Structure 1
Amino acid sequence: MAIIRTTGSITQKQEAETAKQKAIDKLLLNPPQLPGIKLFTKPEPRFEHNLEQRYKFGYFFGVDNVSFSSRNINTTCGRVTDYIEIGNVESIQLESSYHLPDKASVEFSVIDQDVEIPIVPVGDSLVRNEKIFFGLPLRFSIDKTKPYIIKKDGVEVTMTPEAAINANDGLYTITYSPIGAYDYMPKNDRVKVKVIMRLYDKTSEPPFVQNALIRAYGGDALWKDRL
């Protein structure tokens, strides 16, 4: 009886090993499949002509979150018109529509051949914010019977025009009533108009001139407008 039980145990063990070996052989013969991978290839460029193929790389650069701490604008600019035909006249005046902020000035002149004559548009009772140049006279004679305002670097100061002309420690401007500033007797039959605009504070609103008109009197006509 004992021999029969031993033989049965060996037989079961052999069967188990045989089954295990068969399973291993099955795995070796049919291993698990890996996930499929699709390969993509970029098509090569085609050339219609017999040219050498080259590779080109493109780069794009950008700037993000930009802020400006200051702005630059022209503080002085000007323009000279073409010749304006006035004919043989006795005198001319200037009429103009323009915008003049508090921290700016607009200067008008008539150019008669090679002579430049400052002029004030009719209707303007004051020369406003004229820039004072060190050691140079004002553009017009000043009527000292009327009040005037002198500013240093935009701040009103108490001083005479002569003292401001001889001061060289800042930017001086003056607002005053001119004498003999509205009429000019031309020597030629055509003139030019010159306009200078100055801005004394870069953060302020700039001036601009909308139009300018020459009024001609006497001679060929008693009264004419010349653009």
Structure 2
Amino acid sequence: MSQYQINQSEKFRCPWCLGFEDYIKYHDEEWGVPVYSDKVHFEFLVLESAQAGLSWSTILKKRDGYRKAFADFDYKKVADFPESMVQELLQDKGIIRNKMKIEAAINNARQFMEIQANVGSFTSYIWDFVNGKPIDNQLKSAQDAKATTAESDKLSKDLKAKGFKFLGSTTIYAHMQATGLVNDHLLQCFRHQEVKRMIR
């Protein structure tokens, strides 16, 4: 029995992560942690855009495959992928073999670097949409969680205007939750206070 299964009965967690060990590990270690690394933001943008229409568990299971396929999420290398790489990735069973999503990841790497060139870092750009501080939604139950917000609408619209693809408001809100721009851990979840203490 893993530490996550053992601890499951000892701590209160957000209900969405229960029943799947990788979900619990992801919830306990990553979800909601404020991200200030451009590379990590790019990783989540690739994974979140790949999730569109699928479950997050499917993407988590293929995360290592994505890491290998997309040069350890090195956006500079991904931005330089030639058209032939798209065909190669379409044969890669380690990722979601969807041509539009693969092309979007490569395109988004290029747009990502455009933002860096114009703003200095993607981190500065994205955190500006929440005024540099995580939005704590103080959720009392899973039913209180939203799929989109005014902030995700605004961010998604701006990214789309900048040429990004497969990053609608729902996908972007999931990105904001994952990277700590919002704290959507339930108030009674043990991680709610832990991630609050990680704010710079």
Query: Normalised by the size of structure 1, how large is the TM-score?
Result: 0.19
Please identify the structure whose Cα radius of gyration is greater: 1
Query: Normalised by the size of structure 2, how large is the TM-score?
Result: 0.21
Higher strand share: 1
